[in-house]
Structure formats: C-alpha cells, structure tokens
Structure 1
Amino acid sequence: MWRIRILNEVYKVIDCSDIIAFILDSRNPLFTKCDNIEKYLEKNYPTKNIIYILTKSDLVPSISIGLIGFPNVGKSSIINSLRTKNICNVAPIPGETRV
C-alpha cells in the first residue's frame, strides 16, 4: 500500500518536471538507481532529460568529479556554490578556470 503512494508521488514529480534529477549514492550508484523509472521515462517522456547526481562522494576515497562545458557557461559558479565559498575566480573571459 505504501509503495503505491510513493510511486504515485514519483509519477507526479516526473509529470510536473522538465528535467529529472536522479540522486545516487556514490558508494554504490548502480544499487541506488531505479531501472524501472528510467524505462518509464524513456517510454512515456522521451523528451525529458535526466541528470544523475552523485552524493556522499566524500565517503569514497578514489572518486574525483570533473566539470566540463563551453566557455562562460558558469562552471566556476557551480564549483563555488557547491563548495559554499569562492575557490574559483569568475571572469567574463574564457579560460579563467583551468584546473
């Protein structure tokens, strides 16, 4: 009974959202991923995008996350907001953040 209520809430979120953020535990991302939800999205909402977000990455010693993107799309701003302090310079010219 509770599973039906949870799935109904999941379907409501999927229906109302343009982009789906799938939160995964970095210690075991394949275990915390739901293939049925992915298949449901592919079948019923093929135009919706999925973003996978790994959490608890600080608990996995062998992990590093790279951010890529065109110049001036906001990579440095993302890094600063994730770290909650300014560790990257933000500039209106390409190539300010390299490493």
Structure 2
Amino acid sequence: MANELILIVEDNEKNRKLVRDVLQFRGYQTVEAETGEDAVRLARERRPALILMDIQLPGINGIIALGQLRSDPTTRAIPVIAVTASAMSTRARSSASPAMG
C-alpha cells in the first residue's frame, strides 16, 4: 500500500502533522482536511486508498461525514479508520457536559 494516497482528517494541526510525518516517512502520499465537509469533498475528488478520520470535527463531525461517504457510490468502498485524541467517549462527554459547565 506504500505510495498510495491517504486522506488525514484532523482539526488539530499538531496531530495532523504527526500523522502526516509518520505516513510520509513510510512512503505514503497524504492529503489533509480539517473539517468533515472538506473530508467528504476531498474523498470524492481524490479517491484516497484510506481515510483516517477524527470523530470530533468542526462543522459536521466524523460520524456524519462517514455516513455521507457511505451513501455515495464513489466513496462508499474507501476504508475509513476513525481516530480521536480524546480519552473520553462522545457519549460520556455528552452526558458529562452539563456537569462540566
């Protein structure tokens, strides 16, 4: 799979750079998106071999973006790996958010 294109979807610049540097060191080409909307657009335009997608994104989140990718015949077969830097699940964070003020 080396030299194939991987779409990195991450809104945190440091995390995105880390993933990009590791993948490029291993011989992969990368393209990057900071939002779910950009991820869907780039996936349709570039048809990457793999998408690494953060769950918590500005605009549409990674789950909604994944749904859009799966409903589109041009992108539905692209493998997507969901990644997040958060140690707390989305459900737990939603439940805890009123307590966090």
TM range (shorter): 0.3 to 0.5
Q: Computing the radius of gyration over CA atoms, which structure comes out larger, 1 or 2? A: 1
TM-score for both structures, normalised by structure 2: 0.34
More helix by share: 2
More strand by share: 2
Where relative contact order (Cα < 8 A, 6+ residues apart) is larger, the structure is 2
TM-score for both structures, normalised by structure 1: 0.35
